[in-house]
Amino acid sequence: MPVKQVTVKAPATSANLGPGFDVFGIALEQPNDQVMLSTIREGVEMQVSGMGAKTISLIPEKNTAGRVAEAMIKDFKLKTGLQIHVEKGIFPGKGLGSSAASAAAVAVGINTMFELGLSNKQLIVYAAKGEVASAGSEHADNVSAAVCGNFVLIRSYHPLEIINLECPKDMELAVAMPKIITPPNKTEKARAVVPKLVPLEKHVFNLSRAVAMAAGFAMGDVDIIGKSMVDDIVEPARASLVPGYTQVRENALNAGALGVTISGAGPSMIAIINRRTGDASKVAAAMREGFQSSGYDADAFATKPGKGSYVIGR
Ligand code: HSE
């Protein structure tokens, strides 16, 4: 049988966006993972190169991309094996949906390679299976954004229902990633500190910001989106896991960000900027300084909302 090949580009994503824990996600224009799938006789073989590659397991069941491939081969009774080469552009363990990008890329790649005709929702269900390998739970906020692009909100997990909205043209983002070593089970640890019970006033605070943010996306109003990016429930519990959190937050707001929050389970921080009134590169630099003044070096960059995973070669 001739070897089939597909290469997919998948975006970094930021989950939660403040009040939308496990519900909101956004795709970023930069950075990206590139995943090449090639048919082999049987089994799943993993190769990983690029950013943080040494920290990623090559055992398919322990690898987010490998798990997706195994599940799809089994469910669709594909008479093939797959070699998966992941070129990581998204640093793992930083809260930027690194594992979700690889998982989404594999789901999109297999769908294309075998002409399965799956909907985005079906692709998300498969990609979310990969999240168990890295986060210990099938949360779908990162993978939804990595599949669909732009802004997604999960209207329901059971059954899975996603709403996918465009982002305003004036919306820019600044991201700062502290150069700290995070444990492999970082997300599980960050989820363990999330309170199980929430006082009603905190629930009301978060609910009002979350619905305002969703309305902001529907209205195309970056100012409403940005100033709604606050969280009184999960973020206070996780702040101590992000070194320099207070300083980074203060610096971002002082440099013109509309809002700033922990990206996913951290430790990166993300800010929203209206490009008519602010400068995302300036905000990114101020956030890097925030980490540095707290004793931690960091990478920082400006980016924009981005599109979902797509095939770049066959
Ligand atoms: N919503 C998830 C969390 C994202 O915050 O734990 C982790 O990737």
> In the annotation, is 187 catalytic?
yes
CA of 138 from ligand 1 middle (Å) equals 10
Q: Tally Cβ neighbours within 10 Å of residue 275.
A: 15
The pLDDT tens digits of the residues spanning 140-199 come to 999 999 999 999 999 999 999 999 999 999 999 999 999 998 887 888 899 999 999 999
**Tokens linked to 82:** 């797959």
* Maximum distance among all Cα pairs of the chain, rounded to whole angstroms: 62
For the cut 80, the answer to whether the pLDDT of residue 131 exceeds it is no
- DSSP label at residue 278: -
- Whether 141 is in the pocket of ligand 1, judged by its Cβ within 6 Å, is yes
* Nearest-angstrom CA–CA distance, 14 and 265: 9
Q: Tally Cβ neighbours within 10 Å of residue 124.
A: 25
**pLDDT band per the 50, 70, 90 thresholds, residue 134:** low
- Whether 87 is in the pocket of ligand 1, judged by its Cβ within 6 Å, is no
Of 254, 202, 268, the closest CA to residue 17 belongs to 268
Catalytic-labelled residue, pool 13, 39, 70, 131: 131
- Whether 191 is in the pocket of ligand 1, judged by its Cβ within 6 Å, is yes
For the cut 80, the answer to whether the pLDDT of residue 118 exceeds it is yes
> In the annotation, is 55 catalytic?
no
**Tokens linked to 104:** 């989404």
- Nearest CA residue ID for atom 3, ligand 1: 265
CA-to-CA dists, residue 211 to 19, 60, 214, 218, angstroms: 9, 39, 5, 10
Catalytic-labelled residue, pool 7, 112, 182, 187: 187
Q: Are strands 44-50 and 81-88 parallel, antiparallel or unpaired?
A: parallel
The pLDDT tens digits of the residues spanning 226-283 come to 999 999 999 999 999 999 999 999 999 999 999 999 999 999 999 999 999 999 999 9
